[in-house]
Amino acid sequence: MAKLRIDDFEVEVRWKKVKHLYLSVQPPAGHVRMTVPTGTERETILFFVRAKRDWIRKQQAKMRARLVQPVLAYVSGESHYFFGRPYVLNVIETSSRQRVVLSAGRFMNLYVRPNSTTDERRKILIAWYRRQLKAAIPAYLEKWEKVIGVSVREWKVRQMKTKWGSCNIQARRIWLNLELAKKSPRCLEYVIVHEMIHLLERHHNARFYRYLTEHLPDWKAIRTELNSLG
């Protein structure tokens, strides 16, 4: 595998025993990836990428648009997602404990101090998202450790800009994006399974995707949902 700078693109190139050149733009950030027949010369790769330049830019623009998050003021009436379901934010002033409570009517009640700032409200909601996500993760890990036959030594949640998850193979540590608290549970499960499979196969190669298809046959549909807005 090699990374080539072709004009304004960085392209990850893999030489394999295939008959044709394959080019893809990977979500969520629009990384360009190519699989080419063994022995393909650099000039051939350059020509192919340049011929696809407009298509690449179009795909990257679509993915970047999906990553753009609306500017939130954390005021009543805004739409906020929790595990794939939209809720209407209802800001309630209180002198009691600051907290988040979901109502049956699809309201997300945010209890805050009078005259609280946007940043203070954001921090309360983010802390709540973090607690909910961390509470949901262990059950998936326990389930899939038995199925896949690997063990995760450590896992953490953090805010990530370009990835839904990552895996440190040597430390057997998985990082998960805090934004997964806003996605459907099956998206969270998909990312966990994806990262756990890296404990069997480091690279995104045919072996990796065989494992993924074996365990999650509809993973492509889930990935599309994961990278969509909302």
Q: Which of 67, 96, 112 is the last residue of a domain?
A: 67
CATH number for the domain including 139?
Answer: 3.30.2010.10
Q: Is residue 73 part of a domain?
A: no
**Where in the sequence is the domain holding 203, given as residue range(s)?**
79-226
Q: Are residues 95 and 188 in the same domain?
A: yes
Closest listed residue to residue 56, CA positions, set 90, 88, 11: 11
- Please name the helix (run of DSSP H) or strand (run of DSSP E) that holds residue 85, with its range, or none: strand 85-93
Beta pairing, strands 173-177 & 154-158: parallel
Structurally, the chain folds into a number of domains equal to 2
Residues 164 and 128 occupy one common structural domain = yes
31 and 96 share one domain: no
Encoded tokens for 123: 């921090």
Q: Would you write out the chain's pLDDT as a tens digit for each of its 230 residues?
A: 788 888 888 899 999 988 899 999 887 778 899 999 999 999 999 999 999 999 998 888 877 766 656 688 999 999 999 999 999 999 999 999 999 999 987 999 999 999 999 999 999 999 999 999 999 999 999 999 999 999 999 999 999 877 899 999 999 999 999 999 999 999 999 999 999 999 999 888 889 999 999 999 999 899 888 887 65
Residue 71 is predicted with a pLDDT of 80
74 assigned to some structural domain: no
Q: Do 169 and 85 fall within a single domain?
A: yes
208 and 158 assigned to the same domain:
yes
In a shared domain, residues 186 and 206 = yes
User: What pLDDT score was predicted for residue 90?
Assistant: 96
90 and 182 assigned to the same domain: yes
Are residue 43 and residue 151 in the same domain, yes or no? no
Query: Do both 111 and 23 map to the same domain?
Result: no
User: Roughly how many angstroms between the first and final C-alpha of the chain, as a whole number?
Assistant: 34
